[in-house]
Structure formats: structure tokens, C-alpha cells
């Protein structure tokens, strides 16, 4: 059995694979500006919309397409709320934007405000290339904003998923996206003030790009990065880092960059 609907296109996508759902129409809402529309309760999957043309959309009824689940578990310390939500995505091309809006909706639902704060977001995307090779990427990062920390928390994931989906080298099909996130109403932001090197006498001396650090191959460099808080909101913080120099690097040189971009903690 095949269903025809609309008398106009939906996305005007031509040959597509979108899920078709049952619905129970409750009411026709009059609207003199944009035209009346139906208010309905949506039901389960009833088929696959395979043609989206100028005259109509067509959907063979039965099994639906393979969907891409986006699942997030978000907690907000201030509101004391934790929520897990899932959004099912039809098309790979839509996944970056829908995943980002899914996360934003769940963050807003738990954080219960638009405003300043910090967040910790971890997400994993899995999928396959057109040749069948599996792919996976996991990313964890912290974010801070004086304006809307929930919105600031979704942009990196949106950008990276868009790069994966839009790159011209291999065809990519997403399998799922899994996200965990937490938010706090405490706004904290730091920037790098100075970098120090630990000496043999257990003292720290400032370093800069004009003075090279000499280390034996196989040895290590111990650095201390001093962070200053945004507008002096809080104490200074020190981050200690150790870098091991490979044994096969004797006689060679290298560059270690320590930099920040709105560093948060």
C-alpha cells in the first residue's frame, strides 16, 4: 500500500528516505496570515517516504528507514535535575544541526535558565564510511559563558559533526551520537598568565619563546602554567605539566606551545 499526500513538496528533496508516522488530527487551527493548519498527536512509524516531488510526497507503508539515534544525559547542579532524552534523525546531512539542537533543548530543560555558567560536555559519534570502514570520535571539553552557557556548549559539537559530514574525501554514514553533559551556575574563566620551568633545585623559573630549554634525550620537562581568573574573580591557579622527551630525539629540536582560548575550569 502506498500513501500520497500534501499536493506539494515537503523538503523538495526528490528521492529521499524519511520516516512516515501515524497521526490523530485533533483540530484545524484557523490562521488568516499563513493559512490554517492541523493540530495532531503523532504516533509510530508507518512507512518510508521515498519521493518528495512538486506534486506530492509518496510513502510505501510498512517498515521505516534506518534512523540515527541522538541520546543525551544532562544534569544541572543548580536546579538539581537530570534528564535523558533521545531524538531520531532520518538523514546524515541533518545530523549535525539536529544533534546540536537536541543537546540545547536538554540543557535548557535541566538548567532552567538562559544565563552565565560553566559546563562539561562529552560526546561520541560512530558510523561507517561508504566503503564500510567503521569510524568513531569522542570529544570532551569545558565551556563557560557570561550570556548563555547552554548555547555555548553546543557549538563545538555542531562544528565538528559538520566537518565530518561535509568533508569531500569519503562518504560518511552516522550510526549514533551519545552525549553526557553537566552544567553549573558558577561562572569561572581563566587565561594563561605565565609559564615556568622546574629546575633541578625544585624552583620554578619563567620561560619564553626566545630562550630554548635544553633537555637530554629520554629526559623530561616539567612546566607550571599560571592561570589568572576572569576579572580577578577567584584565586590564581597553577597547572603542572610533564613532557617526556623520546630517547631517539638526541641532537634535535622542537617547539612546545602553551596557549589558551577562553580556558575554563
Model pLDDT, residue 258: 72
29 phi and psi, to 5 degrees? -85, 115
Start-to-end CA span in the chain (Å): 57
Model pLDDT, residue 233: 65
Rounded CA separation 54/188 (Å)? 52
Angle between helices 95-111 and 155-166 (to 10 degrees): 170
CB 141 within 8 A of CB 155: no
Rounded CA separation 28/44 (Å)? 21
For the chain, which residues score pLDDT lower than 50? 262-265
User: Where does the chain show beta strands of DSSP type E?
Assistant: 2-5, 14-29, 37-52, 57-60, 68-76, 81-89, 117-129, 134-145, 172-184, 189-198, 204-206, 220-229, 237-244, 263-264
Taking only the tens place, the pLDDT of each residue in 89-119 is: 999 999 999 999 999 999 999 999 999 999 9
DSSP string, 114-143: SS-EEEEEEEEEEEEETT--EEEEEEEEEE
Model pLDDT, residue 209: 75
CB 184 within 8 A of CB 117: yes
CB 139 within 8 A of CB 157: yes
CB 239 within 8 A of CB 227: yes
Bridge-partner residues for 124, per DSSP?
A: 138, 178
Amino acid at each position: 500500500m502506498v500513501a500520497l499526500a500534501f499536493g506539494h513538496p515537503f523538503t523538495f528533496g526528490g528521492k529521499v528516505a524519511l520516516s512516515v508516522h501515524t497521526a490523530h488530527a485533533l483540530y484545524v487551527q484557523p490562521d488568516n496570515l499563513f493559512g490554517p493548519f492541523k493540530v495532531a498527536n503523532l504516533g509510530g512509524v508507518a512507512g518510508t517516504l521515498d519521493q518528495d516531488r512538486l506534486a506530492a510526497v509518496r510513502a510505501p507503508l510498512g517498515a521505516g528507514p534506518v534512523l540515527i539515534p541522538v541520546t543525551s544525559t544532562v544534569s544541572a547542579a543548580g536546579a538539581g535535575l537530570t534528564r535523558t532524552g533521545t531524538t531520531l534523525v532520518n538523514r546524515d546531512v541533518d545530523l549535525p544541526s539536529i544533534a546540536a539542537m537536541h543537546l540545547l533543548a536538554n540543557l535548557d530543560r535541566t538548567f532552567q535558565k538562559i544565563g552565565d555558567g560553566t559546563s562539561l560536555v562529552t560526546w561520541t559519534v560512530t558510523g561507517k564510511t561508504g566503503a564500510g570502514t567503521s569510524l568513531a570520535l569522542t570529544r570532551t571539553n569545558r565551556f563557560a559563558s557570561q550570556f548563555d552557557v547552554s548555547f555555548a556548549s553546543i557549538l563545538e559539537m555542531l562544528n565538528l559533526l559538520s566537518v565530518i559530514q561535509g568533508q569531500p574525501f569519503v562518504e560518511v554514514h552516522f550510526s549514533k551520537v551519545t552525549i553526557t553533559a553537566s552544567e553549573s551556575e558558577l561562572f569561572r574563566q581563566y587565561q594563561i598568565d605565565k609559564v615556568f620551568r622546574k629546575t633541578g633545585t625544585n624552583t620554578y623559573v619563567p620561560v619564553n619563546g626566545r630562550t630554548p630549554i635544553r633537555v637530554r634525550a629520554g629526559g623530561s620537562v616539567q612546566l607550571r602554567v599560571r592561570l589568572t581568573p576572569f576579572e580577578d574573580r577567584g584565586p590564581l591557579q597553577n597547572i603542572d605539566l610533564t613532557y617526556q622527551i623520546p630517547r631517539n630525539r638526541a641532537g634535535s629540536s622542537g617547539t612546545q606551545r602553551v596557549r589558551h582560548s577562553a580556558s575554563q575550569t
